A and B are shown apart, each in its own frame.
Chain A
């Protein structure tokens, strides 16, 4: 990472210049639309607690929308100037993230000007919505770090959701449902692994096929078994569990620590993977398999074992994440209920540069867009929610084209390895 900052290719210099211009354009945009646009609209009143919280007396945060937006515009102009003159070097991406958050708040201020808006409630929803995306992104990342592309995340999520709902309904207990979801995810991870590693089938094709297969099978089973037998799909779910102590912290508590087990598990898994991938022997060897399998093999790393292990783990993670859709929220299974979250997860993985923390950040941003899309109608901004739902995909397009930021996949990604 540091070596990249020292060596700036013409392309990187061009990219930095684009980024600087982007900041300036954003500055003008924020100034015009959010600053002038909310002039005289008054104060946006952000609610900082929900009625059910321990500290429900926390006062709401009044933000003068126009003044705040103008301030953000000034910061953007400064960022653009610095970017164009000397660049931010290693800080480039962190600055980009800060800019993104500022933009969002300027937008929120404009949207909620003159109204009150429960910020904590929405952020809580954002975290909740980001959970399956995080799991999916981690599943994809586990595979791609050992150079197996997993496009089947969508299918694995859907399969997990189905198995979770069915088994939870049969046993009248959510936990066996969770276990079943993991097992089913594991199974589809195994299918991907065997076909991609042993039979050397094109990984992208296998992914597409698993998606079609799971969509067909779960829809078929829903129509054939669940619909005529409502007791097999009766919406058993896990309720949110407030962590004693942590859940009582003002603002942070309700957002992160008054959630379902899925949210906690995703945060823990991100931490575990971030540590193990980059600070343990397993992680180093796994990454070596993804970057240069032949070299890894030469030094005695079992390439196939790593690929199997990671793809299976990825499947299990995605299956668990899939259970969120049923057991974690509504309980009941519906046809194609993942509606492309697996592909947003793929986007989050790329956006997060194949790093667990990056994937989590991207998932949170995408979850935020999702949550905000649901609130736009209430705020009456006139912006169609569909455009916010497009945001994850457009953001990913921007990242993979390398106009802003850079995403480099593991070097051997998607390539078959044949032992000599």
Chain B
């Protein structure tokens, strides 16, 4: 804990300023020069895209063969591929209403799971478990969605709430284990992820959940009354109310963290659990509560996927979103507003990546590489410093405490 010298004060107590600049300080962290705080994420994204372009270039087998005989054409082909890929990426993310809609759809679960990781970070807990929490939340939403027959006004909130609660339970378990036995949440959440994955594999083959007439593990379809309503009649524009849910959740987490006593206690526990303990806070109870809220957010993310674009559960329907969430929370500096912005960026990468895969022969898996690289540069600002010879301020981020505690 001695690695974290500055104790954050609540933003109100700091220099009074315009809302914009105050918000900015909150996003970028306290005590960091704001220009460099913005600079690092920006340079991280740019650098990741450049490195990925290099990866595209050196994996262009056809062009590589030509370098020996016709270097000019080879260069032209390589640059053509990279340009086509990135143009498709951009178009798939932002070009027109449909692209925007896809970006927002992809962003919604990312924001929710990102919030899950972020609130954990704020309380000094590393929640690696959003994937499992998402699966359990999604499963609960699926079951409520197909089993009950209710009017939409009740059914949809019920299904969302079911996802939230299931995720909160699955997330609360590591919190409880941490509080009661000291078992490190990194280990327990990883284990619970895999337990959830296997559990989903099994439950999708039970007669209660499996879709009639199917041999493969697919759940029954959620009733239309539980689905998140779409904004447009055009079936190609799939934008649904899940985006609103995600934004409301971000607002809720912001309010909770920065406007309530509980949120203050969360952050106090994150900065120094011992000090928080001596100040009379129930630290162990905080661990349970934080992890339950984190799990709830991820569970909501799972419900959002089921009740939005997926309609039914399949094995691994979380599609790694729970792991992307870790990268996303780091990029968003574990702040709700930062998470929303990072979620939009990752959503754009996801939506654009799909277009890139269709339009060019560059696989969408490149997006994972881009995300991993972004996080490396975010987590190690010294690398950015070394590459760009800029001052970035701040040490490498240190969030977890190891499990030897």
Contact = CB atoms under 8 A, between A and B. Distances in A.
A346 interface: yes
Contacts of B382: 199
B369 A220 contact: yes
With most chain B CB atoms within 10 A of its CB, the pick from A201, A210, A389 is A201
Contacts of A377: none
B186 interface: yes
Contacts, number: 177
A30 B194 CA distance: 27
B149 interface: no
Contacts of B324: 212
Given A208-B326, A216-B365, A201 B187 contact: no
Interface stretch (B161-169, B196-204, B255-263): B196-204
B104 interface: no
Contacts of B205: 384
A344 B399 CA distance: 24
A204 interface: yes
A415 interface: yes
Contact of A413 (B177, B182, B188, B402): B402
B366 A220 contact: yes
Interface stretch (A59-67, A268-276, A326-334, A393-401): A393-401
B183 interface: yes
B95 to A, nearest CB: 24
B279 interface: no
Contacts of A224: 59, 61, 361-363
A141 interface: no
B195 A394 contact: yes
B323 A212 contact: yes
With most chain B CB atoms within 10 A of its CB, the pick from A229, A344, A402 is A402
A215 B330 CA distance: 19
A384 B205 CA distance: 10
A402 B194 contact: no
Nearest to A218: B365
Interface stretch (B15-23, B219-227, B296-304, B372-380): B372-380
With most chain B CB atoms within 10 A of its CB, the pick from A216, A228, A386 is A216
A200 B379 CA distance: 9
B397 A201 contact: yes
A295 interface: no
B367 interface: yes
A282 interface: no
B275 interface: no
Contacts of A217: 55, 365, 368-369
A397 B194 CA distance: 11
Contacts of B186: 151, 204
B215 interface: no
Nearest to A397: B191
Contacts of B183: 397, 400-402
A347 interface: yes
Interface residues of A, number: 56
A396 B368 contact: no
Contacts of B320: 215
Contacts of A149: 402-403
Contact of B198 (A195, A205, A215, A387): A387
A343 B368 contact: no
A101 interface: no
B294 interface: no
B345 to A, nearest CB: 16
Interface in A164-203: 195, 199-203
A28 interface: no
If over half of A's interface residues share one DSSP class (helix, strand or loop), that class is named, otherwise mixed; here it is helix
A205 B188 contact: no
A48 interface: no
Interface string B389-404: 0000001111111111
B404 A347 contact: no
Nearest to A155: B372
B368 A212 contact: yes
B101 interface: no
A350 interface: yes
A343 B194 contact: yes
With most chain A CB atoms within 10 A of its CB, the pick from B3, B190, B323, B400 is B190
B363 to A, nearest CB: 4
A393 to B, nearest CB: 4
Contacts of B361: 224
A403 interface: yes
A220 B55 contact: yes
A386 B201 contact: yes
Nearest to B381: A199
B126 interface: yes
Contacts of B55: 217, 220
Contacts of A397: 177, 183, 188, 191-192, 195
Given A223-B363, A344-B194, A384-B202, 13 more contacts: A195-B376, A199-B380, A205-B330, A213-B368, A219-B368, A220-B59, A225-B59, A343-B190, A394-B195, A397-B188, A400-B187, A409-B404, A416-B3
29 contacts: A195-B379, A200-B396, A201-B396, A203-B402, A204-B126, A205-B330, A208-B326, A209-B376, A211-B323, A212-B327, A212-B371, A213-B372, A216-B372, A220-B365, A223-B363, A340-B197, A343-B194, A384-B202, A387-B198, A387-B202, A389-B198, A390-B198, A397-B195, A400-B184, A401-B181, A403-B181, A410-B404, A413-B403, A415-B401
- Which 10 A-B pairs have CB atoms at the shortest separation, nearest pair first? A414-B402, A216-B368, A213-B372, A223-B363, A219-B365, A386-B202, A413-B404, A220-B365, A216-B369, A393-B191
